[in-house]
Amino acid sequence: MLLLDTGVLTYKSIKIWKEQNISKYKEDLSGLNAFHDQIMRKVLEVAIVNLKKGLPPCAFSWFITGSGGRLEQGFISDQDHGMIYVEDTEECHTYFKALGEELSDGLALVGYPYCKGYIMSSNPLWCKSLKSWKEQLLTWMESESWEAIRYLQIFYDARVLVGETLYINQLKNVVYKYQLEQPNLLKRFMANIMHLKNTIGPLGQILVERYGPYQGCIDLKYSAFVPYVNAIRILAIKEGIYETSTLSRISELVKKEKYTNLLRNCNDNFELLLKYRLSLFKVDDYFDTHYLKIAGLSKAEKKQIKQILKTGIRIHDEVIELIEKGC
């Protein structure tokens, strides 16, 4: 693993180093995600210095979520992160609000675009004391809104980059215990992710984009990743599994006999999917990292993609049935 110079750093120097070295991980997903982690940790260090308010006034955890939380980032990734701080005081509110804003701006300058959904530490919704986070999770779980359920799913993919993992696990435990007492929460999760993009035609053919700049491509994010990620996440919530990567969640779930058949071929197909994601290296736009051109694939690769898509759809549909039955 390459190490970023520990000398005097700026957002500009971090960005230059990132751009010079990221291509070295075009065939190494684990290394690529560790590379992103290192960059983001350094951005936080610079943000604290630039803030000119001294060291944080209390213990805190800075977490990332989304594909970063799940260790599934591609070469270009937007921001998805939040902050938990222990002491519920005005001093801490003021400090971490300012730090969250500086951090989000710093990440943007280094090459991580702002999250269009505002899932960032600069948003007070995602930068709170531990006490306020517990209250917010309960509010989201009791809410009937689509947005609240979406936020809960995003939160459950949170992985700590800096600080204690203990705090994030305490909060995930709030969600786990609540759904044990209120199993209808899992059904609301499923209702939120019920509809999938149609990817396999009636004759078994792969359905590609018919028009526009991605004509002839499939959208790996919505056609392939979403069925696996959403279904496996719901099972992780159901079973109180706090690991964040989809592969780690599958590994924990298959230890339970009741999921052995449900998750058959799931691990292998998801690993293949991650490799195809890495193959989309020559890109200059965030959204390009999701589109795979089918015409350029070999017969064997097309067969693999079709199997990946079919397995994802099957798992998604079977998890819906399982949750609806209350199993």
Distance between CA atoms of residues 247 and 312, nearest Å: 14
**Band of the pLDDT at 327, cuts 50, 70, 90?**
low
Least confident of 26-35, 67-76, 124-133, 283-292: 283-292
* Res 199: pLDDT: 86
Is the predicted pLDDT of residue 282 greater than 80, yes or no?
A: no
User: Over the stretch 161-182, which tens digit does the pLDDT of each residue have?
Assistant: 999 999 999 999 999 999 999 9
Are the beta carbons of 112 and 289 closer than 8 angstroms? Answer: no
* Res 277: pLDDT: 84
**Band of the pLDDT at 283, cuts 50, 70, 90?**
very low
Are the beta carbons of 146 and 191 closer than 8 angstroms? Answer: no
Is the predicted pLDDT of residue 7 greater than 70, yes or no?
A: no
pTM: 0.92
* Res 4: pLDDT: 63
**Band of the pLDDT at 284, cuts 50, 70, 90?**
low
Mean pLDDT (the chain, rounded): 91
User: Over the stretch 30-47, which tens digit does the pLDDT of each residue have?
Assistant: 999 999 999 999 999 999
User: Over the stretch 195-217, which tens digit does the pLDDT of each residue have?
Assistant: 777 888 888 888 898 888 888 98
Mean pLDDT across the stretch 61-88? 94
* Res 288: pLDDT: 64
CA dist 91 → 56, 57, 84, 126 (Å): 10, 8, 14, 17
* Res 287: pLDDT: 54
* Res 279: pLDDT: 79
* Res 141: pLDDT: 96
Mean pLDDT across the stretch 145-160? 95
Least confident of 8-12, 100-104, 130-134, 255-259: 8-12
* Res 77: pLDDT: 85
Are the beta carbons of 164 and 59 closer than 8 angstroms? Answer: yes
**Band of the pLDDT at 144, cuts 50, 70, 90?**
confident
* Res 261: pLDDT: 93
Cα-based torsion angle of the residue sequence 144, 61, 87, 47 in order, rounded to the nearest 10 degrees: -110
**Of residues 225 and 327, more confidently modeled:** 225
CA dist 235 → 151, 164, 228, 262 (Å): 17, 25, 11, 11
Least confident of 99-108, 150-159, 219-228, 281-290: 281-290
**Band of the pLDDT at 79, cuts 50, 70, 90?**
very high
Are the beta carbons of 208 and 167 closer than 8 angstroms? Answer: no
Q: SS3 for 40? A: helix
